[in-house]
Structure 1
Amino acid sequence: MNALSTATKFLTRRATTSGTAIRSVTTLQETLASQLPAKQTQLATLKKEHGSKVIGQVTIDQLIGGARGVKCMLWETSNLDPEEGIRFRGLTIPECQQVLPTYSGKAGDGEPLLESLIWLLLTSEVPTKEQVDTLTAELHQRASKLPSHVIPLINSLPKDMHPMTQFSIGLNAAQTGSEFAKAYANGVPKNEYHKYALEDILNVFAIIPEIAAQIYRNVYFDGVVTKDQSLDYSGNFCRMLGYDDPSFDELMRLYLCIHTDHEGGNASAHTTHLVGSTLSDPYLSYAAGLNALAGPLHGLANQEVLRWIQALQAKFEAEGKEVNAETITEFAWETLNAKKVIPGYGHAVLRKTDPRYSCQREFGLKHMPDDPLFKIVETIYSVMPGILTEHGKVANPYPNVDSHSGVLLWHYGFTQYQYYTVLFGVSRAVGGLCQLYWDRALGLPLERPKSHTPEWLETFAKNNP
């Protein structure tokens, strides 16, 4: 079976409606193939006609401060606006919730299927439920492509090894199945890289839930992973983790969708793009992204927020205090006066409440309004922006995505917060790798910014008062 046989098989699918009418199902691969020539022409024209135009300036503060706000990346799949938050291919999170297909089959009835967001990010088109079902079936079929040595390798790892370390090892080990690496070694033309990159990308999407679930079951339970491929991607992942609750399935659909992408500048997405620009295959590229995600300043924030909320709850109980606006205000000022931060508040780009926080809050109001930790989060939300605004040293006094996600997981008994970043990693593969497809399809080059020494900067500053 050649590298593209699976794609060819799915290009021939047809569906029957009303028992008589037959129409073609436009597949993911077919949709991308139809878009590619126009996208390539658009980028070439943009570069030719406007390539010399300046789109921003870089200050010494930005250079030293981690390139914050420097406009220097092309990113297809999402855009982060400081005021309104993330848009996936132009759609806000509430708009995605209204138009993307759900497990029930009716848009707006439940949370969007992750497969529908994969389709949207890759193609910029809202898929039909029929197209999503076709992609679900394809991903389930591709899950069998997990190389046979990967699970035994994961089973051999120490249980006290961090789950993210295990996740990175597992995906790196699966790289032996890379169709892109094989095609490149065989001298495939550059204009066909994207075809083999897409094969790898879909295979990575398909296999990482089992890698992640095996780690979870090994570290915390009996090592047994049970699948149910009659369900969608997220539902099957929940069964592999060992959860069988339709409400938790809905939470996982929401969680996986909202964590997929946050434009290209975040560490895991940027790392995936950077490593991919060397023509490392999607397995190696996203394994690098996982290592970035494992950093405490990136993917570990939600567990730190949960710990902080639980510590607050324990402190109040020990002191005989109720959790209310007054006591939260007192605690917040104690924290700030000790020159500590309020976990879960603020964002490098956003200047309003993170819409990813808002949709999780709405989920909590619907599914767990009386949960004690949820009530604490609600109380914090009612007073904290005002406190931080008064404090005056925070650019964004509003909650971010991490303020809520750990609390929701904890409600369903998912208490192993050291593992939470692995869930994030399953989700973020979608954003980083959907962009990587377009990196190869558009022939984007090796990323190589110019660096400067401190001495050069000092000389430049003196000569440019």
Structure 2
Amino acid sequence: MNRMISKSASALSRKTLTSSFAKTSVRSITTLQETLAAQVPEKQAKLTQLKKEHGSHVIGNVTIDQCIGGARSVKCMLWETSNLDAEEGIRFRGLTIPECQAVLPTYSGKTGDGEPLLESLFWLLLTGEVPTKEQADSLTAELHARSTLPAHVVPLLNSLPKQMHPMTQLSIGLMAAQTESKFSKAYADGVPKKEYHLHALEDILSVVAQLPEIAATIYRNVYFDGKVNKDLSLDYSGNFCRMLGYDDPSFDELMRLYLCIHTDHEGGNASAHATHLVGSTLSDPYLSYSGGLNALAGPLHGLANQEVLKWIQELKSKFDAEGKEVNAESITEFAWETLKAGKVIPGYGHAVLRKTDPRYTCQREFALKHIPDDPLFKLVDTIYQVMPGILKEHGKVANPYPNVDSHSGVLLWHYGFTQYQYYTVLFGVSRAVGALSQLYWDRALGLPLERPKSVTPEWLWSQVQK
């Protein structure tokens, strides 16, 4: 048995699993570690062949607009786990969101009956393979076994001022847990480069496992009594809901959906790219993903959903105060007033997508199934029915369709999750799965330190003058 499997098995044997998932014998199925161990040599060889035979092949050109404008659409990153298409949206290992919903295991065990388990998507992103329910349950058991935080982390979180932003606290909590990094220790001990991915995987599984308790501790400290109660008989998302203080199977399903659709959005988004960049220096996964969290905390990235929710609530208050009904006519009138004043419509448009974001669509379908009569959902749905046409007529918006942020806040609000300053923390728990799945392959494929070439304004002018 290879070294990686032995370490994983011994780690599991050291802990007593109170979860019902512990009853699944992980030795009767192909484990996550075994699946990855079989894939790594083949992928390494393929990448070596690609570089050797076609390394000089030109795949794109860079314009001055792209150089100045944040490298938008420049093809210069290798990303295994997902791809974002302008027309069809995100694909996780080649599967669209509806396809994932159709084939990935669910909590009930009946494929397509409910939302996918986050564990099943984690398996898919890491391996490129759709897991069985037994494999997904074995990963649940392993994550539960790894979820205990170092003894100093919760006291540190308890000591932080309540007015400190939850994302700041999340980054602090994750960095504090870095004391247990297996990758950092292995590197210091001089482990061979070809074994980096084995130790990176140890950290990646632990980071994903520990983030929910860090996040829940922050939530309970800032908004409630500070008490966190686990239920390891549930899956990853269900247990996270209990730690947050929610005990509603419908909300569990929403959290499964929310966590799954926010995991990955190819490598160019700020949080994923930051994780990849920091990781390329051989910082361990704890430190690498803390970089991703800090990028996610920016107003142009992870804070968008709370801003959309505030806008929707203000719109509803305005209509209520003026005695207006929420209908296509009143929304159209308001939209034109907004646009003519030079303002934007929050939640519409995307840097890449040119159609309705599939992440919006699946949340809309969830709302139609679970909360069709919610007033805020009705408002969002009415906006959706008229806004694309208005923005097309306006003619100054590249993508007149809604993005993921148009809907997520409204769903959370319906279930009483009203602390929207905290919403980005939920995003942070989710995005770890995608960004760290790629970080595993960064180390398995031996990807180098990321170091693009910068140029000066004078150099750009010299190219134009030539």
- Mark yes or no: TM-score above 0.5: yes
Alignment of 1:342-361 (within 5 A): 342-361=345-364
> Which whole-Å CA distance do the structure 2 matches of 1:444 and 1:81 have between them?
24
Task: List gaps (5 residues or longer) in structure 2.
Answer: 14-25
Match of 1:67 in 2: 71
Match of 2:391 in 1: 388
> Which whole-Å CA distance do the structure 2 matches of 1:318 and 1:26 have between them?
60
> Which whole-Å CA distance do the structure 2 matches of 1:173 and 1:61 have between them?
40
Match of 1:224 in 2: 227
Contact 2:262 2:427 in 1 (8 A): yes
Q: CA deviation at 1:24?
A: 2.9
1:58-96 deviations in Å (ceiling 9; x for gaps): 000011011111000000000000000000000000000
Match of 1:278 in 2: 281
Decide which of 28, 38, 41 is 2:32's aligned counterpart. Answer: 28
Instruction: Flag the 1:84–1:10 CA change in 2: closer, same or farther, 3 A.
Output: farther
Decide which of 111, 114, 120 is 1:116's aligned counterpart. Answer: 120
Quick check: 1:136 aligned with 2:140?
A: yes
Alignment of 1:54-453 (within 5 A): 54-144=58-148, 146-453=149-456
> Which whole-Å CA distance do the structure 2 matches of 1:75 and 1:392 have between them?
34
Contact 2:12 2:145 in 1 (8 A): no
> Which whole-Å CA distance do the structure 1 matches of 2:460 and 2:83 have between them?
31
1:304-361 deviations in Å (ceiling 9; x for gaps): 0000000000001111111111110111111111111110000000000000000000
What is the identity percentage for the equivalent residue pairs of Structure 1 and Structure 2? 82
> Which whole-Å CA distance do the structure 2 matches of 1:38 and 1:406 have between them?
42
| Alignment TM-score, normalising by the size of structure 1 | 0.96
Contact 2:4 2:33 in 1 (8 A): no
> Which whole-Å CA distance do the structure 1 matches of 2:345 and 2:7 have between them?
49
1:176-232 deviations in Å (ceiling 9; x for gaps): 010000000000000000000000000001100000000000000000000000000
Contact 2:5 2:33 in 1 (8 A): no
> Which whole-Å CA distance do the structure 2 matches of 1:11 and 1:228 have between them?
18
Runs of 4+ in 1 over 3 A off after TM superposition: 2-6, 8-12
Cα RMSD for the two superposed structures: 1.5
1:93-119 deviations in Å (ceiling 9; x for gaps): 000000000000011000000000000
Q: CA deviation at 1:8?
A: 3.2
> Which whole-Å CA distance do the structure 2 matches of 1:359 and 1:255 have between them?
10
Q: CA deviation at 1:5?
A: 4.8
- SS of the aligned residue for 2:407 comes to helix
Q: CA deviation at 1:234?
A: 0.1
Match of 2:9 in 1: 8
1:22-64 deviations in Å (ceiling 9; x for gaps): 9830000000000111000000000011110000110000110
Instruction: Flag the 1:206–1:11 CA change in 2: closer, same or farther, 3 A.
Output: closer
> Which whole-Å CA distance do the structure 2 matches of 1:346 and 1:50 have between them?
36
Match of 1:16 in 2: none
Q: CA deviation at 1:7?
A: 1.3
Instruction: Flag the 1:10–1:163 CA change in 2: closer, same or farther, 3 A.
Output: closer
- Read off the aligned partner of 1:209 and give its amino acid letter: P
> Which whole-Å CA distance do the structure 1 matches of 2:440 and 2:204 have between them?
8
- SS of the aligned residue for 1:143 comes to coil
> Which whole-Å CA distance do the structure 2 matches of 1:455 and 1:163 have between them?
42
Contact 1:277 1:444 in 2 (8 A): yes
> Which whole-Å CA distance do the structure 2 matches of 1:35 and 1:246 have between them?
37
| Alignment TM-score, normalising by the size of structure 2 | 0.96
- Read off the aligned partner of 1:264 and give its amino acid letter: G
> Which whole-Å CA distance do the structure 1 matches of 2:154 and 2:295 have between them?
23
Instruction: Flag the 1:365–1:332 CA change in 2: closer, same or farther, 3 A.
Output: same
Contact 2:5 2:34 in 1 (8 A): no
- Read off the aligned partner of 1:93 and give its amino acid letter: I
Task: List gaps (5 residues or longer) in structure 1.
Answer: 13-21
